[in-house]
Amino acid sequence: MYIFLLVLTLATTIGFQSWRTLLNNFAVEVAGLNGGEFGMIGSIREIPGFLSLFVIYFLLFFKEHRLAALAVAVMGLGVALTGLMPSYTGIAFTTVIMSFGFHYYETLNQSLTLQYFGYSEAPIVMGRLRSLAAATNISVGVAIFAVSGFMDYSTMFMAAGGITVLAGLLCSLKDPSSKDIPIQHKKMVLRWKYWLFYILTFMSGARRQIFVAFAVFLLVKKFEYTVQEVTILFVINNIINYFLNPMIAKAVNRFGERKVLSLEYGSLILIFTAYAFTESPLVGGILYVLDNIFFNFAMGIRTFFQKIADKSDIAPSMAVGFTINHIAAVFIPALGGLAWMQNYRIVFIGAAIMAAVSFLLTQLIDRELRLKGQNQE
């Protein structure tokens, strides 16, 4: 199962990173999209994440590992078709295809990891996969830089998408599953005993939206970062993540989820506050790198859930969790945009307050683990 997930994760990374790297320039230079149209593409991209809940019902017809492989193939198809449809409608259509495949695979990837690997193994596997994905991101960037001088956009999209489709189809022919794994519920599961997982997942999604929508925007708008400078930050992030993710995984095992997540949210309070008040371009760039690093600590939310969950609840709960995580994507960018028009500092102060709420909630993790232990006794 580890090799199976490794191949699919690397294929997904190749497809998504290529799509993300090429899309902005393709949309402007070839498709001629304006800012409003491109903003709508961003919103459309998040819809499949919000609909991840429906993974549960696909499991009525497909085995979980096969559905994961097919989702990767669907994502690759969306990437491959992007370069052939240089219009607003075409990009919106292919974005939906790509995004459904991407989000459904991520949901199933988390589910299979928590099912097939034990409490101490799961964070290690998550850390290794994220580390190798970071290395793949760098390789994709180098490859695109090397071939962009003599390949057109449609060829590059087709090449990246083709690799992803091929990997997904080949893996769909493999069966890494085990009969010893508890059978998963094929219906939506919402249980009160998972309340803390749900809230932490929602808050994590809200924090991600602030980072995605406004962190780079601040660097470009306020500090006038160039494309080259943003790219340098991106490379630095991936190099650090390659080495740091395995260490974060070991920290989860050694210190526990409460301490690791407390470090994340405590640091984010300071980072978001500093975003709001710094006047230094250098400090802004450092904050961006730190912000990106602490996002990796969120694996502790999933490993916490693994410890409190009934084994047969993992697959449907990951689907529900992914939907909850994307609820914030519906309104946070819009609300943040309105707040930015009044004063950009409001956005980051609000994010610091959300981090403080998450910090307080994280202190309840050990209590929930004790309750799980008492119920088992």
With a CB cutoff of 8 Å and minimum separation 6, the contacts of 205 are 324, 325, 326, 327, 328, 329
Stretch 36-52: mean pLDDT: 80
Q: Are 369 and 308 in contact (CB under 8 A)?
A: yes
Which pLDDT belongs to residue 39? 66
Do 141 and 16 share a structural domain? yes
Do 73 and 42 share a structural domain? yes
Give a three-class secondary structure readout of 107-143: HHHHHHHHHHCCCCHHHHHHHHHHHHHHHHHHHHHHH
Q: Is residue 187 part of a domain?
A: no
Averaged pLDDT score across all residues of the chain: 89
Which pLDDT belongs to residue 176? 93
Do 218 and 154 share a structural domain? no
* CATH code, 56: 1.20.1250.20
Stretch 172-185: mean pLDDT: 87
pLDDT digits (tens, 9 = 90+) for 194-245: 999 999 999 998 888 788 778 877 887 888 887 567 778 878 888 998 899 9
Number of domains observed in the structure of the chain = 2
Q: How far apart are CA 317 and CA 47, in angstroms?
A: 19
CB-side neighbour CA atoms (13 Å) of 149: 4
pTM of the model: 0.83
Do 156 and 116 share a structural domain? yes
Classify residue 118 as exposed, middle or buried by CB count within 10 Å of its CB (0-12, 13-18, 19+): exposed
Q: Print the domain residue range for 78.
A: 2-172
Q: Is residue 53 part of a domain?
A: yes
pLDDT digits (tens, 9 = 90+) for 118-157: 888 999 999 999 999 999 988 988 888 888 888 898 999 9
pLDDT digits (tens, 9 = 90+) for 363-373: 999 999 988 76
Q: Is residue 161 part of a domain?
A: yes
Do 224 and 301 share a structural domain? yes
Do 150 and 204 share a structural domain? no
Do 288 and 370 share a structural domain? yes
- Dump the DSSP string for 263-327: HHHHHHHHHHHHHHH---HHHHHHHHHHHHHHHGGGHHHHHHHHHHS-GGGHHHHHHHHHHHHHH
